[in-house]
Amino acid sequence: MPLIEKGEIVADAYVRVADDEALPEGAPVLIGIDRLLSEAEALKGRQAPVGIIWPNNRPIAEIEPYLPQLALIALNFPSFRDGRAYSQARLLRERLGWTGPLRAIGNVLRDQFLLMERSGFDQIEAVKPADAEAFDEATHRYTVFYQPATDARPSLLRQRLGRTIAGIRS
């Protein structure tokens, strides 16, 4: 599956490794939660980056002790109707202070690209290559937002308050 990062299709540097497979030497790996929990100490000494596929049915707060040793977090969308990964992404960014790459995997649809970006995802594992074009269009379709989010775009209220405060000070 193509990987979209900042609107472009990029090569995925991470190798997905099943719990029972050996970790390749020197290559960035993407592992499951069971492997992380059982091999956490051994993974700390690994010379290559380690990423985790975090299931959407586990509390995201459980990942906090492992954040310093992770280079990537992938959150799963098992169904397009299941939005728990959005909440996990915001909690990671806003409460847990995660600043590293955050990847959306699973059943990812074009209609959700803007919300994914606003929730804190900076990588999306898309279904097909044409989705990169759809990503650019979807993320630039709207310029005004009512709700605050984790991205840098201010909400309409913040924009208005900024103008009002700037107007009072001048």
Domain of 123, CATH number, reads: 3.20.20.70
CA atoms within 13 A on the CB side of 32: 8
Query: Does residue 96 sit within a domain?
Result: yes
Burial of 170 (0-12, 13-18, 19+ CB in 10 A): exposed
Q: Please check the confidence at residue 170 and state whether its pLDDT lies above 80.
A: no
Q: Is residue 160 part of a domain?
A: no
Residue 151 lies in a domain: no
Instruction: List the domain range (segments joined by +) for residue 52.
Output: 3-142
The reported pLDDT for the residue numbered 115 is 81
Domain count across the chain: 1
What local confidence, expressed as pLDDT, does residue 169 receive? 44
Has residue 165 been placed in a domain?
no
Mean pLDDT across 67-78: 95
User: For the whole model, what pTM was predicted?
Assistant: 0.81
**Residue 158 within a domain:** no
Give the span between the Cα atoms of 145 and 75, in whole angstroms: 24
Cβ contacts of 39 within 8 Å, gap of 6 or more: none
Residue 107 is assigned to a structural domain of this protein? yes
